[in-house]
């Protein structure tokens, strides 16, 4: 019994020694089995080789055509490209999985991170990471806007943008600009040439409305090689409902607020050959005094008045409601003598608020509507919007 037991133990020992020797032999010989598994305990390396363009740390990368991913001996499974604000950039992997390209343009002056993953024929993954910065544009544009933020305007105020360069891609710029109102009303934009974009509701703003202009122009290509630089919001409030009606036949200006007549003022409008524009116009700028030179409106040397008081702009072409101190008070209400503007009796300096012009200036604000329904001149160019 003992001998048999010893023999049994001996055979087991031989078997264990043979197995250990076999394992040691395999380990010393190295090599990997199917699937790339390593027999020395180290992680297997994927055969897929990723190439990321541009390389890590690159700068001045173009907005289009400068970014991509390719793979050799594998296929791409995932690419994550995002800017420094965390916004993802969509892209597409080719049908055979060998390449990836972004779907659109990148923003200029922006830092991006790119992470790509690929697998080889055995399913082993390879990954690459890169960070880069896009180019600083040589040519840029901005929008000058009215009204300014934080102010209060009349119910007729338009949101007007004037661009510093000609805009060729109006659709792209239009998508990057938004005007919203609270309480909400539909607001429509209209282009006047290549540099001006105006927004307004179909009717007047309601008093008390809060209007927000959103400029998301940074990185928008407004013309070939010309990029916007602004990203900001501008908020203003709509104040009182005031409408002034100029009757050039009766030489009067009737001022109504919330439907109630505040005052009727005598005026002197456009004389023969210089009829005042008809239609609806809006006060867009107000100057206590300003220079008026006929050369700037194509009238030669007709006039050059260095300090016109209480001037309120109605059109870009030079139509104003303004004070007049160089004509006798008896002219107002009886004769039309101007070069197209609506004149009110005034004194020099623009300091008085008791003259007709001074009173109207003190009781007006940008966005106040002025109507000239009976004017014999052409329609105001501002009504074309």
User: Which 3 state secondary structure label does DSSP give 173?
Assistant: helix
What single string gives the DSSP state of each residue in 87-100?
-B--EEE-TTSSEE
Task: Give the pLDDT score at 378.
Answer: 56
Tokens at 220, concatenated: 């928008």
Q: What's the mean pLDDT in 304-309?
A: 95
Is residue 187 over pLDDT 80?
yes
Please return the burial class of 357, using the count of CB atoms within 10 Å of its CB with bins 0-12, 13-18 and 19+: buried
Preceding omega of 183 cis (within 30 degrees of 0): yes
Backbone angles phi, psi at 263, to 5 degrees: -170, 150
Q: What's the mean pLDDT in 317-340?
A: 95
Angle at 26 between CA 22 and CA 31, to 5 degrees: 165
Task: Give the pLDDT score at 278.
Answer: 86
CATH T-level topology, domain 139-238: Immunoglobulin-like (2.60.40)
Q: What's the mean pLDDT in 258-281?
A: 92
Tokens at 8, concatenated: 């049994």
Q: What's the mean pLDDT in 160-184?
A: 97
Are 380 and 319 in contact by the 8 Å Cβ rule? The answer is yes
- Residue 105's pLDDT band, with cuts at 50, 70 and 90, is confident
Task: Give the pLDDT score at 367.
Answer: 92
Are 313 and 283 in contact by the 8 Å Cβ rule? The answer is yes
Task: Give the pLDDT score at 34.
Answer: 45
CATH T-level topology, domain 49-133: Immunoglobulin-like (2.60.40)
User: Which 3 state secondary structure label does DSSP give 147?
Assistant: coil
> Taking all residues of the chain, what is their mean pLDDT, rounded to a whole number?
88
Task: Give the pLDDT score at 353.
Answer: 94
Q: What's the mean pLDDT in 197-202?
A: 94
CATH numeric code, 242-384: 2.40.440.10
- Residue 54's pLDDT band, with cuts at 50, 70 and 90, is very high
Helices (H), the chain: 2-29, 170-175, 356-362
CB hemisphere CA count around 302 (13 angstroms): 15
Is residue 26 over pLDDT 50?
no
- The Cα 156–Cα 366 span in angstroms is 8
Task: Give the pLDDT score at 40.
Answer: 61
Is residue 385 over pLDDT 60?
no
Is residue 263 over pLDDT 50?
yes
- The Cα 154–Cα 146 span in angstroms is 13
Which residues lie below 8 Å from residue 59, measured CB to CB, with a gap of 6+?
A: 132, 133, 135
Backbone angles phi, psi at 195, to 5 degrees: -130, 0
Is residue 119 over pLDDT 90?
yes
- Residue 7's pLDDT band, with cuts at 50, 70 and 90, is very low
Q: What's the mean pLDDT in 64-82?
A: 97
- The Cα 370–Cα 65 span in angstroms is 53
CA distances from residue 125 to 45, 50, 105 in whole angstroms, order as listed? 8, 10, 29
Q: What's the mean pLDDT in 223-252?
A: 94
Which residues lie below 8 Å from residue 251, measured CB to CB, with a gap of 6+?
A: 266, 267, 268, 269, 332, 333, 334, 335, 336
Please return the burial class of 380, using the count of CB atoms within 10 Å of its CB with bins 0-12, 13-18 and 19+: buried
- The Cα 58–Cα 134 span in angstroms is 8
User: Which 3 state secondary structure label does DSSP give 313?
Assistant: strand
- Residue 42's pLDDT band, with cuts at 50, 70 and 90, is confident
Q: What's the mean pLDDT in 185-193?
A: 95
Q: Where are the domains of the chain?
A: 49-133, 139-238, 242-384
Name the β-bridge partners of 79. Answer: 116
Q: What's the mean pLDDT in 100-105?
A: 93
Fold agreement (49-133, 139-238):
yes
Tokens at 232, concatenated: 């900001």
């Amino acid at each position: 019994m003992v001998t048999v037991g010893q023999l049994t133990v001996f055979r087991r020992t031989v078997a264990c020694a043979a197995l250990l020797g076999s394992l040691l032999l395999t380990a010393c010989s190295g090599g990997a089995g199917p699937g790339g598994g390593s027999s020395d305990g180290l992680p297997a390396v994927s055969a897929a080789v990723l190439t990321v363009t541009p390389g890590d740390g690159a700068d001045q990368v173009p907005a289009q055509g400068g970014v991509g991913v390719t793979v050799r001996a594998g296929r791409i499974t995932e690419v994550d490209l995002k800017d420094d604000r965390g916004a993802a950039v969509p892209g597409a992997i080719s049908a055979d999985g060998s390449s990836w390209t972004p779907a659109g343009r990148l923003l200029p002056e922006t830092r991006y991170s790119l992470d790509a993953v690929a697998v080889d024929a055995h399913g082993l993954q390879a990954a690459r990471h890169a960070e880069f910065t896009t180019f600083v544009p040589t040519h840029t544009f901005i929008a000058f806007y009215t009204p300014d933020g934080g102010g209060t305007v009349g119910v007729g105020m338009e949101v007007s943008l004037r661009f510093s360069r000609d805009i060729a891609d109006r659709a792209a710029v239009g998508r990057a600009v938004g005007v919203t109102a609270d309480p909400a009303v539909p607001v429509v934009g209209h282009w006047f040439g290549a540099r001006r974009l105006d927004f307004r509701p179909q009717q007047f703003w309601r008093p008390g409305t809060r209007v927000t202009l959103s400029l998301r122009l940074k990185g928008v290509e407004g013309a070939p090689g010309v990029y916007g630089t602004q990203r900001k919001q501008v908020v203003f409030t709509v104040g009182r409902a005031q409408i002034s009606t100029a009757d050039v036949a009766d030489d009067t200006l009737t001022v109504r607020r919330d439907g109630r007549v505040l005052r009727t003022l005598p005026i002197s409008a456009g004389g023969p050959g210089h009829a005042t524009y008809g239609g609806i116009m809006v006060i867009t700028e107000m100057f206590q005094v300003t220079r008026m030179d006929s050369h700037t409106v194509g009238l030669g040397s007709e006039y050059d008045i260095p300090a016109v008081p209480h001037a309120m702009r109605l059109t870009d072409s030079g139509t104003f409601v303004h004070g007049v101190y160089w004509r006798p008070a008896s002219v107002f209400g009886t004769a039309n003598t101007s070069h197209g503007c609506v004149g009110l009796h005034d004194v020099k300096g623009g300091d008085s608020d008791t003259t007709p012009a001074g009173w109207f200036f003190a009781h007006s604000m940008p966005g106040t509507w002025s109507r000239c329904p009976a004017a014999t001149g052409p329609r105001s160019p501002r009504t074309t919007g």
